Amino acid sequence: MTDSLRNEVRKRAMHCCEYCFAQEMISHDPFSAEHIIPSSKGGKDEFDNLAWSCLGCNYHKFTATTAIDLVSEEIVNLFHPRKDVWAGHFKWNEDYTQLIGLSAIGRATINRLKLNPNRLDQSKANFEDGRETSTESLIVSIFPLIQI
């Protein structure tokens, strides 16, 4: 993958993880261009098959494209940043510390990518080190693509 392609993927995502919306600028871990359909399953190094991903989401997704929805107990596709609309599969709880899956895809993705434990830890860390002082400013700073 070229540096130019990687930078285009980063720009398209506005420097945020396309799965959990963590911001690259406040993360202690590196982000990368992740293959939505992994190379091992025929995915290509093409713009439409790449998503900007934090280390946690990339690590937990690994080469998976499907996961079990714990409600229906069916194997379903994971959230696909190019094909799926985030708000159709996820919403935040009232204090923005837990993601709620609105669909089988959302629930399976939350489970596979371990999104909720990481989100709570990140939120607490931002408040504890003084980077954020209000819930609203925290949400706006970490999730600029989500309107509140």
Pairing of strands 99-101, 50-54: unpaired
Backbone phi and psi for residue 53, each to the nearest 5 degrees, phi listed first: -135, 140
- Asked, for residue 147, whether it belongs to a domain, the answer is no
- Asked, for residue 131, whether it belongs to a domain, the answer is yes
Q: Confidence band (pLDDT; 50, 70, 90) for 60?
A: very high
- Asked, for residue 106, whether it belongs to a domain, the answer is yes
Domain range for 20: 3-142
Specify the pTM. Answer: 0.77
- As for how many domains the chain has, the answer is 1
- Asked, for residue 9, whether it belongs to a domain, the answer is yes
User: Is residue 10 scored above 70 in pLDDT?
Assistant: yes
| The two structure tokens encoding residue 107 | 């629930």
DSSP code, position 93: -
